[in-house]
């Protein structure tokens, strides 16, 4: 019974149901004063106009999310091998025109053909193709196209768009499944099903393997699974609970939340030696550890103040530092180097009732930046490059995946069509 109570507290606390010319061009993009105006066009002679139109829409979303382009709705009637009328497009202030076509590949998949024109110079500047063996993975063809366009402009990388998002989705009592998706959730594929499987976490940047917690082994067990082969390995089990909340930059160390003696604490697990070391030792609740400051310290959530708040502790030291001094329910956090984004409950405000907002802080100074203003904003997760934050937003009864582009003061929402996300990583 006590373990069940602790588990309920943990659930509540943890996820809250938690060249000179080139240089000049870069400067324009960073300042955001004059972005290149770009039009994404579907060629008039393309195979499967409906599908290529879907791809074009995803590309437009990507370019908007990047913060590096001013996406225009101007379209032209143009065959894929025809040259556009540069004079007309210049008069409409278009800088770049992307023309798309799609073909069936020789292996039965899809081949996306891309041509991009510099309207001001009257030149074809990009001529590439991307292939996929399966039609339902067309969003990744779009993301790769967007990355190629962005790379041509020498803009800051958006390579993260071609990565998988992984999440656990509740189905009903004691039933959940683990899903991989693109960041817009246009593509989704169930990879683990049957029983209760939660808290997925990528094992490394390559996204070849992931960790997750299963309740199908008699007691909570941390499992590592290979995404491509399906091979699974049991890593460690614990009474009460076990969750992998973070992985070190070299992939050799894990931060685990475990409660072998009723109260949850943060543990460091070495994947090479199989040795686990207890980091926190508090007769209360310590959960959700994340590495900070070059993996030398851990940020975590604790009820040491009799309500959840954000603390930090150097690995190997017993000294604990309080990081957040506002709010009385700061119950989830994510980290990148010395930066932390946390979710804070703020009660009713002028924007919404029972609001949870996201804040960005640094461990090096007193810097604080509010990232959201309304709704319930939870499950923050930094991208690998630290420039974006993924989160789950609920507003007016509707749930969406949100992306905050930190360097551009922009955020974007992608509505959930169905299901209840339990935990998410990218």
- Asked if the model's pLDDT at residue 118 lies above 90, the reply is yes
pLDDT tens sequence across 325-357: 988 899 899 999 999 999 999 865 545 557 899
The CATH number that domain 37-152 falls under is 3.40.50.10070
Distance CA 371, CA 379 (A): 13
pLDDT at 21: 29
- Asked if the model's pLDDT at residue 397 lies above 80, the reply is no
pLDDT tens sequence across 233-258: 999 999 889 999 999 999 999 999 99
What is the pLDDT confidence band of residue 121, given thresholds at 50, 70 and 90? very high
pLDDT at 348: 56
Q: Which is nearest to 68 in space by CA: 419, 320, 415, 387? A: 387
The pTM (predicted TM-score) of the whole model is: 0.87
pLDDT at 353: 59
Say if residues 268 and 285 touch (Cβ distance below 8 Å): no
What is the pLDDT confidence band of residue 191, given thresholds at 50, 70 and 90? very high
DSSP state of 291: E
pLDDT at 28: 30
Domain boundaries, the chain: 2-18+160-425, 37-152
Q: What would the two tokens of residue 93 be? A: 């202030």
CA angle, residues 10, 11, 16, in degrees to nearest 5:
115
- Asked if the model's pLDDT at residue 45 lies above 90, the reply is yes
- Asked if the model's pLDDT at residue 82 lies above 70, the reply is yes
Say if residues 42 and 57 touch (Cβ distance below 8 Å): no
Q: What is the rounded average pLDDT for all residues in the chain? A: 88
Of residues 261 and 45, more confidently modeled? 45
pLDDT at 39: 98
Least confident of 25-39, 127-141, 387-401: 25-39
User: Mean pLDDT highest for which of 5-9, 222-226, 342-346?
Assistant: 222-226
Of residues 23 and 385, more confidently modeled? 385
> Mean pLDDT throughout 177-183?
95
pLDDT tens sequence across 370-394: 999 888 999 899 998 899 999 988 8
pLDDT tens sequence across 270-308: 999 999 999 999 999 999 999 999 999 999 999 999 999
- Asked if the model's pLDDT at residue 22 lies above 50, the reply is no
DSSP state of 105: -
Q: For the sheet with 320-322, list strands across it.
A: 286-292, 297-302, 309-314, 320-322
pLDDT at 349: 52
The answer as to CATH 3.20.20.60 being correct for domain 2-18+160-425 is no
Q: Which is nearest to 191 in space by CA: 223, 235, 143? A: 223
pLDDT at 19: 29
> Mean pLDDT throughout 255-273?
94
pLDDT at 417: 75
């Amino acid at each position: 019974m006590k373990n069940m109570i602790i588990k309920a507290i943990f659930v509540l606390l943890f996820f809250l149901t938690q060249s000179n010319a080139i240089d000049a061009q870069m400067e324009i993009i960073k300042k955001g004063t004059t972005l290149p105006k770009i039009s994404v066009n579907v060629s008039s002679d393309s195979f499967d106009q409906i599908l290529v139109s879907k791809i074009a829409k995803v590309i437009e979303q990507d370019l908007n999310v990047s913060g590096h382009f001013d996406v225009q709705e101007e379209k032209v009637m143009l065959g894929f091998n025809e040259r556009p009328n540069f004079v007309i497009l210049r008069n409409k202030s278009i800088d770049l025109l992307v023309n798309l076509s799609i073909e069936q590949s020789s292996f039965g998949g899809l081949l996306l053909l891309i041509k991009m024109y510099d309207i001001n110079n009257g030149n074809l500047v990009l001529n590439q193709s991307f292939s996929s063996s399966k039609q339902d993975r067309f969003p990744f063809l779009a993301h790769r196209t967007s990355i190629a366009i962005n790379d041509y402009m020498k803009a800051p990388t958006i390579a993260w768009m071609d990565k998988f998002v992984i999440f656990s989705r509740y189905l009903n009592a004691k039933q959940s499944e683990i899903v991989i998706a693109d960041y817009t959730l246009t593509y989704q594929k169930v990879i683990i099903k049957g029983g209760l499987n939660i808290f997925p976490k990528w094992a490394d940047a390559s996204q070849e393997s992931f960790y997750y917690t299963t309740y199908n082994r008699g007691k909570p067990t941390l499992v590592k699974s290979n995404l491509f082969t399906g091979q699974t390995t049991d890593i460690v089990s614990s009474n009460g609970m076990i969750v992998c909340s973070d992985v070190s930059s070299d992939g050799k160390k894990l931060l685990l939340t475990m409660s072998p003696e009723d109260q949850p604490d943060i543990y460091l697990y070495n994947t090479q030696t199989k040795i686990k070391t207890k980091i926190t030792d508090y007769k209360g609740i310590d959960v959700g550890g994340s590495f900070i400051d070059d993996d030398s310290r851990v940020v975590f959530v604790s009820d040491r103040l009799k309500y959840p708040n954000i603390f930090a502790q150097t690995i190997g030291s017993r000294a604990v530092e309080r990081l957040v001094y506002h709010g009385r329910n700061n119950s989830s956090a994510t980290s990148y180097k010395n930066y932390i984004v946390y979710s804070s409950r703020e009660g009713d405000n002028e924007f919404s009732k029972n609001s949870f907002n996201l804040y960005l802080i640094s461990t090096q100074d007193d810097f604080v930046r509010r990232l959201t203003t309304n709704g319930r904003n939870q499950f923050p997760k930094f991208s690998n490059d630290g420039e974006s934050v993924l989160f789950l937003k609920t507003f007016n009864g509707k749930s969406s995946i949100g992306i905050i582009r930190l360097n551009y003061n922009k955020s974007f929402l992608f509505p959930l069509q169905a299901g209840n996300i339990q935990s998410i990583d990218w």
